[in-house]
Structure 1
Amino acid sequence: MAPDEPAEPGTAVVIATSGSTGAPKGVLLSARALTASAEATHARLGGPGHWLLATPAHYIGGLQVLVRSLLAGTEPAVLTGTGFRPDDFAAAAATLKGGPRYTALVPTQLVRLLDDGGVGLAAAKTFDAIVVGAAATSVSLRERAADAGVRIVPAYGMSETASGCVYDGFPLDGVRVDIEGDRIRIAGDVLAHGYRRQPGLTAEAFRAGWFTTSDRGIRHEDGRVEVLGRADDMINTGGVKVSAAAVERCLCAQPGVRDACVVGLPDPEWGEAVVALVVSSGDAGDLRAAVRAELGPASTPKRVEFTGALPLRGPGKIDRAAVKARLLPGQNG
């Protein structure tokens, strides 16, 4: 990050990526990009409002809560305390004055509010919109939130797009999304202008006004963008390419499953074996059968392990390297 050296021209902030799937990078964001994102968010949600900061401000999701508050001319409420506790969330929400009321959470935080079912959930219901980002929001989590009366807006984006730029499948105003092959590309004023002290990587990712993401996706006839998973999440098992994200979605749709991470581990017979770490108290055989029925034999995990919580790195992002290390033979949980 080289904090003692001058920032690149036009840079307002440098955001460190979480490095959940690779080496962390410093993302260069201008005031124009931050402002464009904040204004487009307010336009989509229903106008400027009062925000609760519930995620760290050194990540883009938290920083944008502050930018949105600044542009709205409102004082943000701030979640204090160690970790994320539903009662602390409720106390912070109670300090918000006026409306509309907004906050931004990661899926793990939303799950804790829904699981708590007490004052935290009651507070969540008072928000006009809760933007949920940083990690994929499963169908089952969306349904749980809707059943509980919590109004969530799943968001897709990253530091390079100054936070979420696709809300509930549709790009924000001023944002263009293109699918090249199966890779998602994004253009618009929300884009960063490069990576800190990495001109080669900048030239590779940012070309002719477009940022090429590491995510695969498709665009439906109604214009909705569906994210299929990272381009590097494909597992080559026995010569068949399996999408880890597709297996994760299938597992998370099963009763009692709160979260799942699927990785490929070295295997002498298959090259890579599909292995899953699941947050559930269910039965491994039932989960494997469900995947087999929906996705076929190749996608069926060779092994399913259970855990109370997935290891995280950054704002709600699964630490896949830690999952792999835990699932390797001979490793202890």
Structure 2
Amino acid sequence: MPRPLVRLGASDPLAVLRGLEAALAGGPALLPVAEGVPALPTPAPADVEQRVALVVETSGSTGTGKRVALSSEALLAGAAAADAALGGPGGWVLALPTHYIAGLNVLTRSIAAGTTPSVVAPGHFEAGAFADAADQLATGPAAPRRYTSLVPVQLARVLDDPRATAALAGFDAVLVGGQSTPGPLRERAVAAGVHVVTTYGASETSGGCVYDGQPFGTVRTELVDGELLLHGPMLAEGYLGDADRTAATFVERDGLRWYRTGDAATLDDGRVRVLGRLDDVIISGGEKVPLGLVERHVRELPGQDAAVVTRRDSGEWGEVPVVVTATPLDLDTVRAHVGAALGRAARPAEVLVVDRVPMLASGKPDRRAIRALVADR
């Protein structure tokens, strides 16, 4: 029989926690929604299949809107495997929005551990508020460890604040994901005594399922024509109301169900290195240039932790990389740095300095807005 789907505003994280706890126990399925954000064109259904416990709604940073349907089994399997990889369950500081899978992951793991997360007030992230939440985090004998999950820009802000940095250094692990973590930022965190664990995953995998490049638990990886595929018990049921997209994204291979990530990657003795989106490769002067890889090298430069690389049409070259940053950056410097690592075609054609790089509520760059900025020039 169908299961009712309850929409709940994500501005109250503890209300979302209670709704998710009920959903995992067999109650109504939960759809947390961001308030003040335009709804997807198609209304969400009133009911879902019985197996669905959670629906994650996102317009994405580059793609079209989707509603990812997740079962209790997938969510709890992902949480259990993650806890095992980290060394055991613990108490969490919640610093991410609870309509995104990363924030919902924190809630799921708190529920599984029997702990209540300490919440950083939703809205503009501040290092002082994070330090306050860390001070208030209580752990018990059953879950004595301390964890949090951040995106790179949040980590950078914490490291700019001595009190917040000292608090962060007391955590057993700090998960950092949502986008690639610049090498200099990670080195800065490690130097401050912070145990950083970089994560990779998606709503379709119940959140992070690869830690520091290593798939955890029973997660399996495979490359098909350069695209990373993932298999494991944490996979989503599919997309609500979109059977064609579900069939194209979740595929059968050798009797197993796999998730096509849409990411280009390499596998070295099982270690995953994500290069960027397959659909974010440009042809510049007849050569393929992965913008994600260009961005990774740009972020190695001092002060460019949050720089974004996008594309621009070029009558001479077809398309060229463009750097968008809120921190001044010399074009010759970035061209030399990127060119030395990736070749002439990958060298950015322009540096666009803006007051603020457009961001989504999740802390990820709003790549559609960034591309529009560049196109309007």
- Same fold per superposition (TM over 0.5): yes
Residues 268-295 of structure 1 deviation map (CA, whole Å, 9 limit, x = unaligned): 2222122111343332221112122222
Give the corresponding residue for 1:95: 136
- TM-score, scaled to structure 2: 0.84
- Provide the identity percentage: 44
1:263 paired with 2:307, answer: no
Q: Secondary structure at the match of 2:136?
A: coil
The superposition leaves residues 88-139 of structure 1 with CA deviations (integer Å, 9 ceiling, x where unpaired) of 1111111111220001111111011112x32211211111111111111121
The equivalent of 1:108 in structure 2 is 153
Matched position secondary structure for 2:52: coil
Q: What are the Cα deviations for residues 303-331 of structure 1, in whole angstroms up to 9, with x where unaligned?
A: 1122354211241221111111112253x
Structure 1 residue aligned with 2:116, among 54, 75, 90?
75
Superposition TM-score, scaled by structure 1 size: 0.94
Match of 1:171 in 2: 215
Could you tell me which residue of structure 2 aligns to residue 181 of structure 1?
A: 225
1:2 aligned to which of 28, 43, 62: 43
- Equivalent-residue separation in structure 2 for 1:170 and 1:89 (angstroms): 28
SS at match of 1:22: coil
CA RMSD after TM alignment: 1.5
Maintained 8 Å contact 1:169/1:225: yes
| Match in the other structure for 1:192 | 236
Q: Structure 2 CA distance, aligned partners of 1:256 and 1:50?
A: 32
1:232 paired residue number: 279
Stretches of structure 2 lacking an aligned partner (at least 5 in a row):
1-41
Task: Report what 1:301 is aligned to.
Answer: 348
After superposition, what is the alpha-carbon deviation per residue over 1:194-241, rounded to whole angstroms, capped at 9, x for unaligned? 0010001001111121111110111112x2111111101101112211
Whole-Å Cα distance in 1 between the matches of residues 309 and 234 of structure 2? 31
**Residues 37-52 of structure 1: matches in 2 within 5 Å?**
37-52=78-93
Tell me the residue number matched to 2:190: 146
Preserved contact between residue 97 and residue 122 of structure 2 (Cα < 8 Å)? no
Deviations 1:9-64 (A, max 9, x none): 41001001241111120000000000001101110111011111111111111111
* Other-structure match for 1:210: 258
Among 98, 106, 131, the residue aligned to 1:65: 106
**AA paired with 1:273?**
V
Q: Report how many residues are paired.
A: 328
One-letter amino acid of the counterpart of residue 146, structure 2: R
Question: Are residues 97 and 30 of structure 1, via their aligned partners in 2, closer, same or farther at CA, if it must alter by over 3 Å?
Answer: same
Could you tell me how far apart the structure 1 residues matched to 2:340 and 2:250 are?
A: 41
Kept in 2, the 8 Å contact 1:237–1:272? The answer is yes
Q: Could you tell me which amino acid in structure 2 is paired with residue 214 of structure 1?
A: G
Match of 1:327 in 2: 374
1:25 aligns to 2:66 (yes or no): yes
Q: Which runs of 5+ in 1 are unaligned?
A: none
